[in-house]
Amino acid sequence: MGRDFDIEERVQKAVKNFESGYNCAQSVFLAYSDLIGLDWETAKKVSVSLGGGMGRLREICGTVSAMSVLAGFRYPVEDPSDQEARTRNYGMVQKMASLFKEKHHSFICRDLLPPEEASTNPAPSLRTKEYYAKRPCGKYVATAAHIAGRMLKGELE
């Protein structure tokens, strides 16, 4: 996995993905998919169901879930009995979630959204100018993309 990339460039790419209509999880995951060897179409499919706190259940923020999936590529567990590798992976997921929570008070989707935006109706909100104006998700995408970039560069050991 190449570590020669510009984190801020990737953060901007993630935000642009979100502003182009991709969900929060996809936006972060797609910003780094090339580094982990996934093509765009596969990466979209892998990450789509994580949006909206996993399928709009409003649980763990999709951006945090996307960071977790990326951590699986940086800190893989090849052998299911490798407790050390699993501990390293889980520790990194916890560290990233903690960094996100420090900045935004929570990593639970419904707690991050204004109450009127926390519907669990499976139909996604239309992406209009009003949607982007009242949704705080762009800043969550930026935070997660930054943390994920630091993780992928090996800066969060």
Q: How many CA atoms lie within 13 A of 121 on its CB side?
A: 7
| pLDDT higher than 70, residue 1 | no
* 60-83 average pLDDT score: 98
Compute how many other C-beta atoms are within 10 angstroms of the C-beta atom of residue 105.
10
**Whole-number Å distance between alpha carbons of 29 and 138:** 14
Model pLDDT, residue 40: 97
Q: Give the tens place of pLDDT for each residue, 83-131.
A: 999 999 999 999 999 999 999 999 999 999 999 888 999 999 899 999 9
- pTM attached to this predicted model: 0.96
